Amino acid sequence: MSPDGYLVEPQADDFEPATAAPTDPYWYKRAVFYEVLVRAFHDHDRNGAGDLIGLTHKLDYLEWLGIDCLWLPPFYDSPLRDGGYDISDFRAVLPEFGTVEDFVVLLDEAHKRGIRVITDLVMNHTSDQHPWFQESRRDPEGPYGDFYVWSDKDTVYPDARVIFVDTETSNWTYDPVRGQFYWHRFFSHQPDLNYDNPEVGEAMLGVLRFWLDLGIDGFRLDAVPYLFEEEGTNCENLPRTHEFLKRCRKVVDCEYPGRVLLAEANQWPTDVVEYFGDPAAGGDEAHMAFHFPLMPRIFMAVRRESRFPISEILAQTPPIPRNAQWGIFLRNHDELTLEMVTDEERDYMYSEYVKDPRMRANIGIRRRLAPLLDNDRNQLELFTALLLSLPGSPVLYYGDEIGMGDNIWLGDRDSVRTPMQWTPDRNAGFSGCDPGRIYLPVIMDPVYGYQAVNVEAQSASTQSLLNWTRRMIQVRREHPAFGLGDFTELGSSNPTVLAYRRSHLGEGDTSDDIVLCVNNLSRFPQPVELDLGEHEGGVPVELTGGVRFPPIGELPYLLTLPGHGFYWFQIVFSDAGREP
Amino acid sequence: MITPSATELLAEIADSLTAMLPEQRWFAGKGRPVRGVSPVRATDLAGADPRLVHAVIEVDQGEQHRDRYQLLLGVRSDLPDNLGHAWVSACGDQAVYQAIYDPDLTAVLLELMAQGKDLDGLRFLAEPGATLDPKQRSRPVGAEQSNTSLVYGQACILKLFRKITAGRSPDLELHRALAAVGCQYIATPLGGIEGELDSTPVTYGMLTKYLRNAAEGWAMATASMRDLLAESLFTEGASGPGGPIDPAEAGGDFASEAHRLGQAVASVHADLATALGSSPAPPGYLDALVDGMHGRLDSVLRQVPELAPHEDALRAAFDAVRDLEGPVLVQRIHGDLHLGQVLRSVTGWVLIDFEGEPMAPLDARTAPASPLRDVAGMLRSFDYAANYAPLGDVDPEQRAAVTLAWTTRNQDAFCDGYAQAAPDPRKQTVLLRAFELDKAVYEVNYEYHNRPPWLPIPLGAITRLTTAHP
């Protein structure tokens, strides 16, 4: 501690920074993201849990797969009472994962391979073990006395809902040390930082700069709607919260161009767009935000064999600023929540979800993609094709590229956090440790077990899901329309077929890229007649095989699709690729 | 060479038209020889080459059969290959063809509507507040029975009435009335083409917003049924092989859509009542209604022996309506409501085609009626959708159980939805059942003559409706 009572915290200068990633300010609009849990990917030091060095050793695999950016859930020092989202030191790495130096090596090696790395940053609160909080409760008059939201009464801000209703009864908890109540929107062991105190904002910007100086490519900002509190409001999405995000963005754009901020605001798209900031400025808050409602709608649409659940949510999604991008996903480390439901949508979601026992059971709980789809290869491909072609940057969840299973006997959210399955050897090649020491047992059932489902076996088979996924990522990379293009749904009289066009107008000497995606959401073969009149004279060229389909004429364009089949076409207007 | 006037042109190609008409899908007089064609009126709408002529012709098919049809003819000195299929006749050294296939000429119609032109009594109108973009190119919509529709760009759709009958089209009338009260469940009307024939108003065309991403209720409902059959008949269930499963458990469950559809229909009924009134039925309405039902039954009984065993039960169900107490409300209704007349758009359900029962005369189509008739039409349509999916070797009893479960679930959901925006139709069982049975009797006749294998669908419904409510 310094003489004036401030804690002495590590500075970026104490470390060697990583090589910078290649410059492209809008890389995030075209990137394929990959969410990987450090603990679950590869265990280098054989202590039974994955670590940063282990992950570094697997970067060749991720480069081979075609991943552009890794998203790491928090790896900061933490008592781990909330999966690492309870951070006790923003400037240290959880010892079991390694050190800050290890992280810099990971960044360095990733950047050499053209892979970027972002991580979660929880700005709203800290662990109650964080020295800031310990100082704050100990010394109300000290420099950290005002770092948290303290009150003599637990009746302030009565309009703010309790989010974790299962475990918490109030947003206030009494602290016997300080003799006051402290404010927390989530668990009582996660006190909210007091952004009314300008020093808190400065301290958090210091944390951002610490990691940005080391070379990190961006942050997923966790729980952003709750930074500020105001009496008489529900304390969510307040204007001052947006002002602070604008400040963060300015720091990134001015001091660290090319890095990104991804907002986690589990809200309806019309509300989430606020977090992109001013459209006239091309967006001046977060670069990206997750599109939460899309994912359950994809599952619903395929289950209903109807495109409308997807069509509706996309029709209700407002345009976003020029430089902004959605993040979309099928699965991640969390369960799905339906809290983004607004009043007008509640009836819809209620009638579709709550009355359907299978939807409720499958979507609400913690399952991986493959078991959710009964391991049906056709559906796995269809879902992946939708993820890679709908508007937004796709986020893959580690292991889903090989169709990994889950272990529903594990508690909480651990069922989808089991070790990555690399080989059919001991511990699935994840760790050389004694199998009894592993942090979670590897999946061992006959269908999804590591002996049947692993990277080694699937790399060797040209027909594997892994190689298929890799190929689709390659195709996506070849076409800017997927990342940058407009989205237009092409209706048809067949409600079970979802067809859309992604079109990106070329600039300078690059040509237009028009991609047509046609998806059969039904288990049965389907015909579809598409109105492609705008592209009369064009030729659809199938993207995975390059086969030229019949040219588009005046009449509606007829396609037939096998059950759960899909097509990606590029519409071309030249004779390129044709035999002389 | 002197260019013939529009009327002269029509006279000159009369023989070709006589030959062409029976091949047109929209021609209502199929099966009777066409003796001749005479011009009723003809108007030049545009240009010299290509030239667009609007025409009404009278087709002579014998004393009782003199129907009038609307034609749009293009005239070009050089007909491009891609319009070859639209060729009708030569006229001098020029080709006369069906102009609906020529986007250069159909654009004229949109332009005239945008300008609000009146050409020789042919009135082109844009609805208040509508903005039309005449640069949109059109294409005809396939698979239409009695009219021709052109979709312009992806923005609007022009329905051209083919057979022209005296009186303003209820479709246009009701769309306008509903739009005026802000109804959300219709395609917004954008324009019209109207005029007079023999001093009586007639409607030639109606322009509405095009719902580019919509699908027919029928396609949605049959997709749901297909899914249910696959799950319950071809899946080894926990309850043993192929046990029928509850439609609520099936992935393709349609009930929530049916519920929203019920709400939409009820809202349209409420809006029609607001716009055009609703009142207790005049004295004698119920008796006339029941007499009509008996009359149709008499006629079908003479033709279809399979209906005979149901006669007593049907007549009893009809007659029960005579004794209804309390007022029965009547208003303007859709008149021909079924799953093929509703579209699911990205914002919800939309009702289309307010023309009324196709075969009925205009005054019957525009007469106030009980909205339960529309409800009955939709309930019957669910029954048809459930039975539509053709299947091979399936145990008929099992199939019947599955289809009945689906029908009941979706009919109930529809009524539940309806009851959220209007009185619950199931509280007027007697009248609702009579409408359903009347409709089923009509279906019996239709299936007997056109699709005998389908006869069991309406007969089964009659059995159920007359035994479930003794």
In A, residues 214-243, which contact B (CB 8 Å cutoff)?
none
pLDDT given at position B169: 94
pLDDT given at position B358: 79
Comparing A68-72, A365-369, A399-403, A424-428, the range with the smallest average pLDDT is A365-369
Active site residues of A: 222, 264
The residue ranking higher by pLDDT, B62 or A308, is A308
Question: Residues of B with CB below 8 A from A357's CB?
Answer: 249
- DSSP state string for A206-234: HHHHHHHHHT--EEEEETGGGS---TTS-
Task: Please check the confidence at residue A506 and state whether its pLDDT lies above 60.
Answer: yes
The residue ranking higher by pLDDT, A548 or A339, is A548
**Closest in B154, B213, B253 to A356, CB measured:** B253
The residue ranking higher by pLDDT, B203 or B248, is B203
Average pLDDT, chain A: 90
A258: left (phi over 0), alpha (psi -120 to 50) or beta: left
pLDDT given at position B23: 87
Chain A CB within 8 Å of residue B141 CB: no
Residue A303 in tokens: 């289950």
For residues A59 and A109, the answer to whether their CB atoms sit within 8 Å is yes
Chain B CB within 8 Å of residue A376 CB: no
Please give the share of chain A, as a percent, with pLDDT higher than 90: 73
Question: Residues of B with CB below 8 A from A491's CB?
Answer: 211-215
Task: Please check the confidence at residue B153 and state whether its pLDDT lies above 80.
Answer: yes
User: Tokens 């020789």 map to which residue?
Assistant: B120
For residues A468 and A377, the answer to whether their CB atoms sit within 8 Å is no
Task: Please check the confidence at residue A342 and state whether its pLDDT lies above 50.
Answer: no
Across the interface, whether the CB atoms of B248 and A356 are under 8 A apart is answered yes
User: Residue B260: closest CA among chain A residues belongs to which residue?
Assistant: A348
Q: Kindly list the domain boundaries of chain B, sorted by start residue.
A: 6-99, 104-209, 215-468
B237 band by pLDDT with thresholds 50, 70 and 90: very low
User: Domains plus CATH for chain A?
Assistant: 486-572 (2.60.40.1180)
For residues A296 and A264, the answer to whether their CB atoms sit within 8 Å is no
Q: Do domains B104-209 and B215-468 have the same CATH topology?
A: no
Task: Please check the confidence at residue B371 and state whether its pLDDT lies above 70.
Answer: yes
B391 band by pLDDT with thresholds 50, 70 and 90: low
User: Residue A314: closest CA among chain B residues belongs to which residue?
Assistant: B346
pLDDT, tens digit (0-9, with 9 covering 90-100), for A286-298: 999 999 888 888 9
In A, residues 478-507, which contact B (CB 8 Å cutoff)?
489-496
Question: Residues of A with CB below 8 A from B255's CB?
Answer: 355
Question: Residues of B with CB below 8 A from A556's CB?
Answer: 142
Which residues in B99-181 belong to E strands, given as ranges?
118-119, 122-126, 138-140, 147-152, 156-161
User: Residue A359: closest CA among chain B residues belongs to which residue?
Assistant: B251
What percent of chain B is helix, strand and coil (3-state, nearest 5)?
Answer: 45, 25, 30
C-alpha distances out from residue A574 to A532, A534, A540, Å: 17, 16, 11
Please give the share of chain B, as a percent, with pLDDT higher than 70: 95
Q: Check whether the bond before A527 is cis (ω within 30° of 0).
A: no
Region B308-312: mean pLDDT is 97
B215: closest CA of chain A, how far (Å): 5
pLDDT given at position B233: 67
Region A280-287: mean pLDDT is 93
Chain B CB within 8 Å of residue A352 CB: yes
Residue B424 in tokens: 């619950």
Task: Please check the confidence at residue B222 and state whether its pLDDT lies above 70.
Answer: yes
Across the interface, whether the CB atoms of A303 and B252 are under 8 A apart is answered yes
3-state secondary structure of B192: strand
Residue A66 in tokens: 């075609």
C-alpha distances out from residue A549 to A504, A542, B427, Å: 21, 7, 56
Residue B145 in tokens: 């029975």
A53 band by pLDDT with thresholds 50, 70 and 90: very high
A367 vs A34: CA distance, rounded Å: 18
Task: Please check the confidence at residue A337 and state whether its pLDDT lies above 90.
Answer: no
For residues B189 and B245, the answer to whether their CB atoms sit within 8 Å is no
pLDDT given at position A341: 47
A357 band by pLDDT with thresholds 50, 70 and 90: low
Q: Is B18 exposed, middle or buried (0-12, 13-18, 19+ CB in 10 A)?
A: middle
What contacts B363, CB < 8 A, 6 or more positions away?
Answer: none
Across the interface, whether the CB atoms of A305 and B224 are under 8 A apart is answered yes
Region B113-119: mean pLDDT is 94
A558: closest CA of chain B, how far (Å): 13
Helices B429-450 and B372-388 meet at what angle, rounded to 10? 50
Residue A4 CB neighbours (<10 A): 7
B214: closest CA of chain A, how far (Å): 6
A491: closest CA of chain B, how far (Å): 4
Comparing B219-223, B257-261, B355-359, the range with the smallest average pLDDT is B355-359
pLDDT given at position B470: 44
The residue ranking higher by pLDDT, A112 or A352, is A112
For residues B434 and B379, the answer to whether their CB atoms sit within 8 Å is no
Question: Which candidate, B156, B175, B167, B160, places its Cα nearest to that of B195?
Answer: B167
Using alpha carbons only, what angle is made at residue A431 by residues A425 and A433, rounded to the nearest 5 degrees?
A: 100
pLDDT, tens digit (0-9, with 9 covering 90-100), for A507-525: 776 789 999 999 999 999 9
3-state secondary structure of B304: coil
A334 vs A526: CA distance, rounded Å: 35
The residue ranking higher by pLDDT, B391 or A250, is A250
Region B435-450: mean pLDDT is 96
A344 band by pLDDT with thresholds 50, 70 and 90: very low
Task: Please check the confidence at residue A571 and state whether its pLDDT lies above 90.
Answer: yes
Chain A CB within 8 Å of residue B420 CB: no
Task: Please check the confidence at residue B242 and state whether its pLDDT lies above 90.
Answer: no
Task: Please check the confidence at residue B373 and state whether its pLDDT lies above 80.
Answer: yes
pLDDT, tens digit (0-9, with 9 covering 90-100), for B315-369: 999 999 999 987 899 999 999 999 999 999 998 999 999 999 878 889 999 999 9
C-alpha distances out from residue B140 to B106, B143, B158, B172, B354, Å: 10, 10, 9, 20, 21
Comparing A31-35, A343-347, B423-427, the range with the smallest average pLDDT is A343-347
C-alpha distances out from residue B120 to B45, B124, B196, Å: 10, 11, 10
What contacts A438, CB < 8 A, 6 or more positions away?
Answer: A43, A48, A49, A419, A427, A430, A431
B345: closest CA of chain A, how far (Å): 8
3-state secondary structure of B389: coil
A500 vs B392: CA distance, rounded Å: 34
3-state secondary structure of B109: helix
Across the interface, whether the CB atoms of A305 and B212 are under 8 A apart is answered no
User: Residue B349: closest CA among chain A residues belongs to which residue?
Assistant: A308
Average pLDDT, chain B: 90
pLDDT given at position A480: 94
**Closest in B219, B224, B346 to A494, CB measured:** B219
3-state secondary structure of B172: helix
pLDDT given at position B321: 96
pLDDT, tens digit (0-9, with 9 covering 90-100), for A63-102: 999 999 999 999 999 999 988 999 999 999 999 999 999 9
pLDDT given at position B167: 92
pLDDT, tens digit (0-9, with 9 covering 90-100), for A431-482: 999 999 999 999 999 999 999 999 999 999 999 999 999 999 999 999 999 9
Using alpha carbons only, what angle is made at residue A261 by residues A257 and A262, rounded to the nearest 5 degrees?
A: 150
A504 vs A531: CA distance, rounded Å: 19
B289 vs B291: CA distance, rounded Å: 5
Give the helix ranges, DSSP H, for A186-292.
Answer: 198-214, 239-255, 269-272
Residue A226 in tokens: 């709750």
pLDDT given at position A360: 55
Across the interface, whether the CB atoms of A492 and B249 are under 8 A apart is answered no
B184 vs B347: CA distance, rounded Å: 10
Helices B255-276 and B217-233 meet at what angle, rounded to 10? 160
First to last CA, chain A: 78
pLDDT given at position B28: 85
In A, residues 247-306, which contact B (CB 8 Å cutoff)?
303-306
In B, residues 177-216, which contact A (CB 8 Å cutoff)?
211-216
Region A538-557: mean pLDDT is 93
- DSSP state string for A67-78: --EEEEPP-EE-
Residue B61 in tokens: 């098919």
A449 vs A444: CA distance, rounded Å: 4
pLDDT given at position A131: 96
Across the interface, whether the CB atoms of A554 and B82 are under 8 A apart is answered yes
Give the helix ranges, DSSP H, for A450-538.
Answer: 455-460, 465-478, 480-484
Across the interface, whether the CB atoms of A306 and B223 are under 8 A apart is answered yes
Q: Any idea what DSSP says for residue B431?
A: H
Residue B330 in tokens: 């009547």
User: Residue B138: closest CA among chain A residues belongs to which residue?
Assistant: A533
Question: Residues of A with CB below 8 A from B230's CB?
Answer: 523-524
Task: Please check the confidence at residue B442 and state whether its pLDDT lies above 90.
Answer: yes
Diameter of chain A measured on Cα atoms:
86
B240 band by pLDDT with thresholds 50, 70 and 90: very low
Region B413-424: mean pLDDT is 96
Residue B180 CB neighbours (<10 A): 15
What stretch of H or E contains A108?
helix A100-112
Q: Could you give phi then psi for residue B134, rounded to 5 degrees?
A: -70, -5
B390 band by pLDDT with thresholds 50, 70 and 90: low
What contacts A307, CB < 8 A, 6 or more positions away?
Answer: A301, A495, A496, A497, A498, A521, B215
Residue B350 CB neighbours (<10 A): 23
The residue ranking higher by pLDDT, A274 or A271, is A274
- Cα A533 to chain center, whole Å? 37
Q: Any idea what DSSP says for residue B369?
A: B
Q: How many residues does chain A have?
A: 580
Region B308-321: mean pLDDT is 97
Across the interface, whether the CB atoms of B227 and A305 are under 8 A apart is answered yes
Across the interface, whether the CB atoms of A351 and B223 are under 8 A apart is answered no
Looking at domain B104-209, its CATH architecture is 2-Layer Sandwich (3.30)
Question: Residues of A with CB below 8 A from B251's CB?
Answer: 303-305, 358
Task: Please check the confidence at residue B239 and state whether its pLDDT lies above 50.
Answer: no
For residues A212 and A256, the answer to whether their CB atoms sit within 8 Å is yes
Sheet-wide strand order for B122-126: B118-119, B122-126, B189-197, B200-209, B156-161, B147-152, B138-140
Question: Residues of B with CB below 8 A from A351's CB?
Answer: 256, 259-260
Region A175-196: mean pLDDT is 95
Partners of B379 in the β-ladder:
none
pLDDT given at position A340: 47
Question: Which candidate, A104, A43, A35, A30, places its Cα nearest to that of A70?
Answer: A35
C-alpha distances out from residue A22 to A108, A217, B319, Å: 12, 11, 84
B289 vs B297: CA distance, rounded Å: 12
B135 vs B389: CA distance, rounded Å: 42
pLDDT given at position A534: 87
Question: Residues of A with CB below 8 A from B391's CB?
Answer: none
pLDDT given at position A4: 82
CATH 3.30.360.10 for domain B215-468, yes or no, is no
Question: Which candidate, B115, B196, B189, B200, places its Cα nearest to that of B159?
Answer: B189
Diameter of chain B measured on Cα atoms:
83
pLDDT given at position B272: 98
B221 band by pLDDT with thresholds 50, 70 and 90: very high
